[in-house]
Chain A
């Protein structure tokens, strides 16, 4: 399916060109006020992921006002609240948004673990929520009002393994993954499953914890088993260190990872050591369709740094909500039923919809790190 990604993007570009854009239309919600609750870890340990999310919603607020995002003339606003990387605060904020009587949908929280704490509240209250970065397994299974526009690792990792295996024909692999985070743990499990299914011998599996800085003992052990490739189940702060330290130890095995590695920091920080590393992801910053080019350009101008996938998926969620508002959904019940009937919405992630499990329907992109960015992996 991923093989049609490039033509699909081209189609999307054409679609975006012919679709009306710019000036806001007057829809059934014109003049109405719609509040969207956003829960992000702007501060605390996950601040590095939540801050781009907050930035994206601020940009979306600007764009709704200017008409760049069409909300059908409604007065739509995204109210970003900081959960401070604290599970209890996530739950409190979710409770607040569900019961304040004016919020139509909640976007976020930032981490899968937080989602697993807070989404059950929403599910019990039949309140619509959408994760934008909560990609661990089982998140949308929490309830019938739980959606996500973030491509799950279970949708990304199999393709990443298959494409790299087709290309590199490796026979042995090692896995290094974080075992104290729902996202990276999912990566580790999926890599093990998919590599085995591809007939690859997993010769070593090493774990680490969030915020670890020293990966040399684990990498030294991996190197002693001489794997052909190393699969990395990490988010970029740890991934850059793994890659740098592997480079230092002279490890020559090819490496690949999932969504967690889709960040400008990969080439910006890990530098030459990161070149050639393959990243399976939900979004490509360099994708040429107009809404994405425009998003990347304006985000960079506003914040002095390019958006990462956390920002892109949040902006896409804002676009989805604006689309539903423009078509008349202004309350939580209208939002819930509108979400059920979504077919295809144009976003910075490309055209997306939702499947029967309320997971996003789109294709992963398989990227390769080059000197100053990413390119498609062929």
Chain B
């Protein structure tokens, strides 16, 4: 049972981590909380559903919808953040405008898709072959989801570390004014950041939709608060911290249930987080990690 629970925790943590890296990336660069991240998570899952329903093979539907999520992120920046940034509106106004954007996206999705849960015709848990390996059982879908999440997080790490775009993103995160003076195109770099962050958040939504074969209007609400918790735990703005935070939360949740404490799950999860924050008030990896990535 322990091996199966460990695996359950890993699968859960991978999606949490993928959601959280996008969340924390925007914070690391702009010092703002993007509370529309969960709406993009949901919108991308619906986009994948539509593309798959239109006959696209699942991997292509996944890619297309992740790109759609990225584009929606760029729109989000132009609509909700850029005008306020231009007026030096501080950090609270963008928080509210991102909530507004999320509500509008939610209303549009409801208008288009209705309130019923949507399901992928193929590729869900119900059709995927189960693999029994010793004491553990998992499906090819879960394995693919786990691999995709890990690959995307490694990819992001590589982009930030080794590409010109990554260097620009880190420069803007470090000091926006200095970066601009040195010739970095601020708005384009911020747009690229939103694209990457939202494509990853969208990918997390699509993978969640696939994993449970369920796409719903409110699928983002449980992960919204957890995502925030994860990035605080990992250290605001730290990509590595978000990944580790995601796995920690996934593991703590799973282990709480595995030990017969399901009704205490959230209390335990947030209790553990509180203890970690008492020991390390800036989270596991502090705030400067993205800048030093």
A: which residues have CB within 8 A of B? 42-45, 47-48, 50-51, 179, 204, 206-209, 211-214, 216-218, 220-221, 223-224, 237, 240-241, 244-245, 247-250, 265, 269-273, 305
CB distance from B139 to the nearest CB of A (A): 6
- Cα separation A218 to B265 with both chains bound (whole Å): 11
Number of A-B contacts (CB under 8 A): 102
Residues of chain B lying within 8 A (CB to CB) of residue A214: 8, 12, 211-212
- Cα separation A45 to B126 with both chains bound (whole Å): 25
A/B interface sample: 6 pairs, CB < 8 A = A217-B253, A217-B257, A218-B262, A247-B125, A249-B137, A250-B137
- Cα separation A269 to B118 with both chains bound (whole Å): 9
Q: Which of A217, A237, A241, A250 contacts B5 (CB 8 A)?
A: A217
Give the residue name and chain of the B residue nearest to A51 (CB).
B115
| With A213-B208, A245-B125, A250-B130 as contacts: A47 and B115 at CB distance below 8 Å | yes
Residues of chain B lying within 8 A (CB to CB) of residue A272: 126
Contact with A along B105-121 (1 / 0, CB 8 A): 00000100011110100
Residues of chain A lying within 8 A (CB to CB) of residue B232: none
CB distance from B121 to the nearest CB of A (A): 11
Contact (Cβ within 8 A) B116 A305 = yes
Contact with A along B257-293 (1 / 0, CB 8 A): 1101011011000000000000000000000000000
CB distance from A235 to the nearest CB of B (A): 11
Q: Which of A43, A206, A216, A244 contacts B115 (CB 8 A)?
A: A43
Contact (Cβ within 8 A) A237 B258 = no
- Cα separation A95 to B222 with both chains bound (whole Å): 31
Contact (Cβ within 8 A) A220 B258 = yes
Contact (Cβ within 8 A) B125 A269 = no
Contact with A along B8-43 (1 / 0, CB 8 A): 110110000000000000000000000000000000
Contact (Cβ within 8 A) A237 B216 = yes
B1 proximal to A (CB < 8 A): yes
Interface of A is mostly: helix
- Cα separation A209 to B265 with both chains bound (whole Å): 10
By size class, the interface of chain B is 35 or more
Residues of chain B lying within 8 A (CB to CB) of residue A211: 218-219, 221-222
Chain B CB within 10 Å, residue with most, of A218, A223, A265? A218
- Cα separation A244 to B119 with both chains bound (whole Å): 13
Contact (Cβ within 8 A) A212 B222 = yes
Contact (Cβ within 8 A) B8 A220 = yes
- Cα separation A345 to B93 with both chains bound (whole Å): 57
CB distance from A237 to the nearest CB of B (A): 6
Contact (Cβ within 8 A) A213 B214 = yes
Give the residue name and chain of the B residue nearest to A217 (CB).
B257
B217 proximal to A (CB < 8 A): yes
Given A217-B254, A221-B258, output 7 extra A-B contacts at Cβ < 8 Å: A47-B217, A48-B115, A213-B212, A214-B8, A214-B12, A217-B8, A248-B137
CB distance from B260 to the nearest CB of A (A): 7
Interface residues of B in 138-162 (CB under 8 A from A): 139
| With A209-B266, A248-B130, A271-B126 as contacts: A221 and B212 at CB distance below 8 Å | no
- Cα separation A165 to B126 with both chains bound (whole Å): 28
Residues of chain B lying within 8 A (CB to CB) of residue A212: 222
Contact (Cβ within 8 A) A247 B266 = no
Give the residue name and chain of the B residue nearest to A216 (CB).
B8
- Cα separation A100 to B291 with both chains bound (whole Å): 60
Contact (Cβ within 8 A) A265 B126 = no
Residues of chain A lying within 8 A (CB to CB) of residue B189: none
